[in-house]
Amino acid sequence: MKKYPLYKLPIGYTIFYTLLILGSGIWLFLLSQGLSGSSSILATLHKIIVLPEKKSWQHFAEVAAPHLFAMGMLIFTVAHFMLFSTRVSQYVSLFVAMLLFAAALFDISVYGLIISGVVLSGWIKLVSISLFTGIFLVLLFMVYVSL
């Protein structure tokens, strides 16, 4: 950190807050896919793989627009903390941020593949959300290391 010791407080808070947002997003995804009090997470994941929830193009448009905005703003905010880093190069920071934007777009557009019938299994949705989550955790770790 470039001689800004007090920046550790808001950046640490943002990391904690972002982890809560990420966790609640995954939980809401599982709830929308059929997780209830009587079923387990593994049963819900099996249901997603075998037969994902039927969606319409109207539902896709209603969900995709706010997700694009929210995911973009979250990535934008967290990635900008890398401007203060002296431990991680700006090239690596830019590469991870762009990769994360691409993963977010892929994650959102996967429902279009499922709706159109290109993909019949929910595996691709689980892979896309895992890819986004994994890259986002890498970005958060980079911010943490740069504190």
Which residue has better confidence, 129 or 122? 129
| Residue-level pLDDT at 38 | 67
Mean pLDDT computed over 50-61: 80
Confidence of residue 105 (pLDDT cuts 50, 70, 90): very high
Q: Cβ(96)–Cβ(138) under 8 Å?
A: yes
Using CB atoms within 10 Å of the CB of residue 78, give its burial: 0 to 12 exposed, 13 to 18 middle, 19+ buried: buried
What predicted TM-score, i.e. pTM, was given to this entire model? 0.80
Q: Where are the domains of the chain?
A: 5-145
